[in-house]
Amino acid sequence: MDSFVYQAQAARVLFGAGTGARLGEEAQRLGLTRVLVLCTPGRTELAERAAQWLGSRAVGVFDGATMHTPVAVTERALAAVKSLGADGVVSIGGGSTTGLGKAIALRTDLPQIAMPTTYAGSEMTPILGETRDGVKTTQRTAKVLPEVVIYDVELTRSLPVPLSALSAFNAIAHAVEALYAPDTNPIVSLMAQEGVRSIVKALGRIAATPHDLGVRADLLYGAWLCSCCLGATTMGLHHKLCHTLGGLFDLPHAETHTIVLPYVLEFNARTVPDAVARLARAMETDDPVRALIDLERSLHVPMALRDVGMPNDGIARAVAQATANPYANPREVDAGALTELVERAWRGAGARAH
């Protein structure tokens, strides 16, 4: 075995159906007495549940969290933190809400409790992406890591099947790239393989039994592991390309990850046989690319970039931007090969015949 470095992220994790009810206890452990609850605009019912669990420790709800963490929204939330005298935040929701909690922690050092209700996986990473004047910048700092993460499976039952599927493919993408990251290691590989196994198993059952707690637990458990993978490694072509496409054409986050992943995996596959072998075991297949595409198709998610708003004449711009700066990827990425990849993803070409 090669030598390696594994950087664990210090977070206390509570997992399971009904763990949300322990939110008050966890706030008390952190010494919090004035907690602001964060959520996205449509999710005030989740925030109200969190406020109930906090009891007298809740001082208010800020329901303005938005995708890509715009700094203007963070500034409004910071004003609420100040006027309410909050000494901690609870972010209940998907990656948009977790992002806002992180942006507040970056500026105030206030403790955060994250309660993820999607599978996007921001909660276990020291990564924060923020948008100012339409430009998204990403930084890594331990300051943004939530102190406590409560994965209450019950809270994910209301996530509609299409959103659940898209979010789960977003999680799988973290594991795939962690398996071939330059800083991968045996611990990350274990988490990645188990994360994909758990998610893929659940995705086969989600459409028929979307409210089943076992299915939801498998998805959330897998998403936690995939989030750990994202936090512990350096991502490659897939994440770089999705970031570029999202920024250039304002494409939806989880959809973009879902569409692009099979094409990047296919592009890298021959260079990373060990990663492919692990994915094959996790998905119980001999062809992970085809299995991924078949699974996506069975869940009726968008399969082509043209279907989520990317213009055809945007391909050259995307390739130019994605190849402008060097980044980690196991196979060298040149403009010609990347153009072909993006064209295939734009059309939704499907897997190549082998």
> Applying CB under 6 A, which residues contact ligand NAD?
40, 42-43, 67-68, 93-97, 99, 117-118, 120-122, 125, 127-129, 155-156, 158-159, 163, 167, 230, 253-254
Q: Which is nearer to ligand NAD, 116 or 262 (CB)?
A: 116
Report the distance separating Cα 261 and Cα 279, nearest Å.
13
CB nearer to ligand NAD: give 122 or 193.
122
Minimum Å gap between C-beta 246 and ligand NAD is 8
Minimum CB separation of residue 277 from ligand NAD in Å reads 26
**In the complex, minimum distance from the CB of residue 262 to ligand NAD, in angstroms, rounded to a whole number:** 19
Q: Kindly tell me which of 117 and 244 has the beta carbon lying closer to ligand NAD.
A: 117
Q: Which is nearer to ligand NAD, 23 or 351 (CB)?
A: 23
Reading the block at residue 170, the tokens are 């977003």
The partner residues of 92 in beta bridges, in order of sequence, read 115
Closer residue to ligand NAD in complex, CB, 212/287? 212
DSSP designation for 313:
G
CB of 97 to ligand NAD, least distance (A): 6
Closest CB to ligand NAD belongs to which residue? 95
Using an 8 Å Cβ cutoff, are 29 and 81 in contact? no
Q: How far is CA 304 from CA 239, 246, 251, in A?
A: 17, 14, 12
CA–CA separation, 234 and 335 (whole Å): 22
The residue among 163 and 328 lying less far from ligand NAD, judged by its C-beta, is 163
Shortest reach from residue 67's CB to ligand NAD, in Å: 4
State which residue, 33 or 66, has the beta carbon closest to ligand NAD. 66
Distance CA 50, CA 21 (A): 8
CB of 335 to ligand NAD, least distance (A): 26
Token representation of residue 34: 């004035």
C-alpha distances (whole Å) from 182 to each of 5, 178, 209, 232 are: 11, 8, 38, 11
Residue 189's alpha-carbon distances to 126, 300, 329, 330, in angstroms, are: 19, 29, 17, 16
Q: For residues 122 and 268, which CB has a smaller minimum distance to ligand NAD in the complex?
A: 122
Backbone angles phi, psi at 128, to 5 degrees: -135, 125
| d(C-alpha 351, C-alpha 266), whole Å | 8
Tell me the DSSP string of 145-169. S-SEEEE-GGGGTTS-HHHHHHHHH
Residue 102: CB minimum distance to ligand NAD, A: 7
Least gap, CB of 254 to ligand NAD (angstroms): 4
Name every residue whose Cβ is closer than 8 Å to that of residue 262 and which is 6 or more positions away in sequence. 289, 292, 293, 296, 351
